[in-house]
């Protein structure tokens, strides 16, 4: 079927230029006629639970690999590896904000469906459909399907499943260390992916018609529920998976700074990039008095009613909402006990904030700082603080300048902090939450962290590859501000390559209903990699940002920071001294230049 509306024609053009994992297609709603082929049986039975449609066996017992054949060659996933990653039979996993259930069948029994136009029963309202998928054709497999709604309307979508053996590790949900074959086990990574596509907001989903695409395997599908009633107050992006500690029976007390306030709170923990589960024994939240000392008694938190939680590899967990008055523009102490041994963890490296690790024991409930004897300057595992109510949040997708590199430690003088304070001090627009998703060394179109395994590189995967996790899945996101590109051109990318990545980000965010603003790239003459050639690409990129018409607004940060007498460098008053990063004064100038009405 070909949709006649203008929106669909426009997005069809986007499809031809899209290079990422997920394409969001049409948010228009049309009535889709029933397909002719096989329609009679489908009309009689209607949509089926996906488990009734399973027709392929992907998982085998290591001792009986011939009982499964995922890809037609006899290869399969290892049940032991899945268990080691915490992906146990029948377990509900939350990935990128979507709750998906790993299949219950035993190894050697059908556990996924090869997409062939089947109609799956799905219920819920939200912002996206989430599919747990993998391809088995040796390359990406793409196909189109439809989402059915309770009112009889439908919307089309396009789904791409990366290959289970060759797909990018940067975007996988989980990677397993082995592949089973009838001839023996191979030390080769198997990948599974969570891919999201948009749905019409507010409408009740009742069914999903899968694409007809040979080699596209679907293990689970669900509606990613919306986050109405919550505002993101603080967030950070997972930047890598380095060695830590190791921490055994230790409590981490992380210091984070709120933007918006509210009467309730919930926290988000992410085990991104991991290969094994991590257990949190208990957690609390408190307002900071000073250092690791709390103001009052820390408030205990629970996870689906339990004191602790095990987070599978690649998954995330939220605490239950709790009544707790979160002040705006204030430091919180988030404490959580790690009862087992944690030798490596997902971290945000550049916190520009001192946090603390305790002596042995569960000290999450301690109001005193006495047990917290070690200082760290990263944020492991914790990725979000949400507050009840509020108008939603603005997400700032950036690199080290957004991350706050060279701002004063413990002072909360990053430009996102300054922007949040401006919002709190005015009444012209709502006081949105401000979510800082900057990563030092991050790029628009190139991965720094390889996407899997323990690594010393904490520059993150590219903005294109982390967009769903760090922007689209953030709590009540309404606007994204993209402020990146200097690291790309400093390391040899062309303006055209970066522009293509920024266009992709804008297209995907627009398709989810977000406003998209772009900021021009700052000058950096005097820094070693900011050569004349790199600056020429920067200038060309900025010209494109200003004139492309791709974004809902442009923040001309280049014009704010540059020296009028020498536009290829910063004004000395704004320079931190390294010629690449603004200092506190320059960061305040960036925040002060934002037209809040654009948000």
Residues 168-226: pLDDT tens digits?
A: 999 999 999 999 999 999 999 999 999 999 999 989 999 999 999 999 999 999 999 98
Tokens of 138: 């040796």
Among 303, 351, 308, CA closest to 331: 351
Contact 300, 365 (CB under 8 A): yes
Distance, CA of 574 to CA of 559 (rounded, Å)? 12
Q: What is the dihedral of CA 508, 513, 514, 515, to 10 degrees?
A: 100
How far is residue 174 CA from its own chain's centroid?
14
Could you read off the pLDDT of 507-524 as tens digits, one per residue?
Answer: 999 999 999 999 999 999
Q: Torsion over CA of 570, 576, 255 and 239, rounded to 10 degrees?
A: 60
CA distance linking residue 283 with residue 334, whole number of Å: 7
- pLDDT score of 6: 31
Distances (CA, A) of 329 to 30, 259, 261, 419, 514: 45, 5, 8, 11, 25
Q: Is the dihedral of CA 194, 197, 200, 205 positive or negative?
A: negative
Going by their DSSP bridges, the two strands 262-270 and 372-376 should be labelled as unpaired
Question: Distance (Å, rounded) from C-alpha 585 to C-alpha 563?
Answer: 14
Closest CA to 182 of 346, 65, 298, 272: 65
Residue 49: C-alpha distances to residues 54, 88, 128, 524 (Å): 10, 20, 19, 56
Residue ranges of the chain with pLDDT lower than 50? 1-40, 42-43
Peptide bond into 246 cis (omega under 30): yes
pLDDT in the model for residue 39: 39
**Cα–Cα dist 96/173, whole Å:** 9
Distance of CA 538 to the CA centre of its chain: 27
Question: Which residue carries 């460098």 as its tokens?
Answer: 569
Distance CA 306, CA 303 (A): 5
**Degrees (nearest 5) of the Cα angle 90, 95, 100?**
35
Compute the distance between CA of residue 364 and CA of residue 333 in angstroms, rounded to an integer: 10
- pTM for the model: 0.92
> pLDDT digits over 110-168, tens only?
999 999 999 999 999 999 999 999 999 999 999 999 999 999 999 999 999 999 999 99
- Taking the C-alpha atoms of residue 413 and residue 321, their distance in angstroms, rounded to an integer, is 29
Residue 45: per-residue pLDDT: 67
CA angle 568, 520, 448 (to 5 degrees): 95
């Amino acid at each position: 079927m070909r949709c006649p509306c203008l929106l669909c024609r426009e997005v069809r053009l986007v499809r031809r230029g899209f290079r990422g994992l997920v394409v969001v297609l049409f948010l228009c709603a049309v009535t889709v006629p029933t397909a002719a082929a096989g329609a009679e049986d489908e009309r009689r039975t209607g949509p089926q639970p996906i488990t009734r449609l399973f027709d392929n066996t992907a998982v085998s017992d290591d001792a009986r690999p011939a009982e499964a054949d995922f890809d037609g060659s006899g290869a399969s996933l290892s049940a032991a590896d899945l268990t080691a990653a915490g992906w146990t039979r029948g377990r509900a996993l939350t990935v990128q904000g979507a709750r998906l259930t790993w299949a219950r069948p035993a190894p050697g029994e059908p556990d996924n469906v090869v997409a062939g136009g089947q109609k799956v029963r799905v219920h819920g309202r939200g912002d996206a459909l989430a599919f747990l998928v993998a391809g088995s054709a040796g390359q990406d497999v793409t196909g189109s399907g439809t989402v059915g709604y309770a009112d009889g309307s439908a919307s089309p979508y396009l789904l791409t499943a990366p290959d289970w053996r060759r797909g990018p590790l940067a975007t996988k949900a989980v990677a397993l260390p082995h592949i089973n074959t009838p001839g023996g086990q191979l030390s080769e990574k198997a990948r599974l992916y969570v891919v999201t596509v948009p749905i019409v907001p507010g409408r009740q989903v009742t069914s999903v018609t899968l694409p007809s695409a040979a080699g596209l395997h679907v293990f689970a599908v669900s509606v990613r529920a919306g986050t109405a009633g919550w505002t993101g107050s603080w967030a950070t992006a997972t930047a890598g998976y380095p060695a830590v500690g190791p921490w055994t029976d230790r409590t981490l007390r992380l210091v984070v700074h709120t933007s918006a306030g509210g009467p309730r709170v919930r926290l988000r923990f992410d085990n991104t990039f991991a290969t094994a589960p991590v257990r949190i024994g208990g957690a609390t939240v408190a307002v900071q008095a000073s250092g690791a000392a709390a103001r009052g008694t820390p408030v205990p938190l629970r996870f689906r009613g339990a004191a602790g939680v095990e987070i599978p590899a690649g998954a995330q967990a939220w605490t239950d909402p709790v009544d707790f008055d979160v002040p705006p523009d204030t430091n919180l102490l988030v404490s959580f006990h790690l009862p087992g041994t944690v030798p490596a963890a997902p971290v945000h490296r550049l916190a520009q904030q001192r946090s603390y690790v305790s002596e042995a024991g569960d000290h999450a409930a301690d109001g005193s700082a006495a047990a917290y004897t070690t200082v760290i300057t990263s944020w492991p595992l914790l990725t979000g603080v949400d507050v009840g109510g509020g108008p939603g949040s603005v997400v700032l997708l950036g690199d080290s300048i957004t991350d706050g590199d060279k701002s004063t430690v413990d002072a909360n003088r990053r430009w996102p902090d300054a922007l949040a304070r401006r919002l709190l001090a005015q009444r012209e627009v709502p006081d949105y939450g401000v979510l800082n998703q900057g990563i030092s060394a991050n790029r628009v179109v190139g991965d720094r962290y390889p996407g899997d395994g323990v690594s010393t590189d904490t520059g993150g995967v590219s903005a294109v590859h982390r967009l769903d996790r760090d922007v689209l899945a953030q709590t009540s996101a309404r606007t994204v501000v993209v402020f990146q590109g200097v690291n790309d051109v400093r390391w040899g990318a062309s303006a055209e390559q970066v522009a293509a990545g920024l266009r992709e980000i804008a297209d995907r965010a627009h398709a989810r209903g977000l406003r998209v603003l772009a900021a021009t790239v700052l000058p950096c003459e005097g820094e070693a990699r900011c050569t004349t050639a790199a600056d020429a690409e920067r200038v060309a990129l900025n010209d494109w940002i200003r004139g492309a018409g791709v974004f809902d607004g442009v923040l001309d940060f280049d014009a704010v920071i540059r020296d009028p007498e020498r536009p290829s460098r910063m004004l000395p008053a704004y320079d931190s001294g390294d010629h690449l990063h603004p200092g506190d004064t320059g960061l305040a100038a960036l925040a002060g230049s934002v037209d809040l009405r654009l948000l």
